[in-house]
Amino acid sequence: MRGRFIVLEGVDGTGKTTLAKRLADLVGDAVVTSEPTSGRIGSALRSGELGDIPPAAEALLFAADRAIHTAEIEKVLESGRWVVCDRYMGSTVAYQSASMGEDADIEWLIGMQKNAVIEPDATFLLDMDPEESLRRVDSRGEDKSRFEKLDFLRDVREGYLRLAERFGYCVIDASKDRDAVFADVLEALREKGLYASE
């Protein structure tokens, strides 16, 4: 039996990483993964070693990293295991459209990934006011990435919400405490017939 593919989207600080681990622990035999990956392309994107490149070039690199990642995900799903992925296609569209601003071509951002993605069984958008998400990031004491600026994240959030409406993402209020967010996600998985509690 094929495994389930669950994707978590949202700006930094919304609890995606914590939620991914909790879901994997609940399911048992699950793989937690994230994007950009730790592969050669993903690592270069994470580290910033590519320097200041045009948003369109960066989007293509994210799509290339995802194409490799998707092939790996497919193998895991075929083995019957679940995959919980922290960021997927939606992140590229939301972040790169915000980077491109008024010049953003949403259809191009979606279309150029057509052969680099597989359809998740469920995509959850962990939604939160960017002011609160940045407060959470600050509380971790980590260096902020170049994406973690308030006005930029507001544009990213709007992009995510448009994608949620278009593709049927399940929008979760991530401003709630972690247990409440986890409960909301489990309830949505039950409603979709993807998880049945014992």
Residue numbering of the annotated binding site for ATP: 10-17
Q: What six digits make up the tokens of 32?
A: 């937690």
Q: What are the residues whose beta carbons fall under 8 Å from the beta carbon of 116, sequence distance 6 or more?
A: 63, 64, 66, 67, 70, 89
Q: What six digits make up the tokens of 28?
A: 């048992």
Q: What are the residues whose beta carbons fall under 8 Å from the beta carbon of 82, sequence distance 6 or more?
A: 3, 4, 5, 6, 24, 27, 29, 30, 31
Binding residues: 10-17
**What's the CA gap between 119 and 129, in Å, rounded?**
27
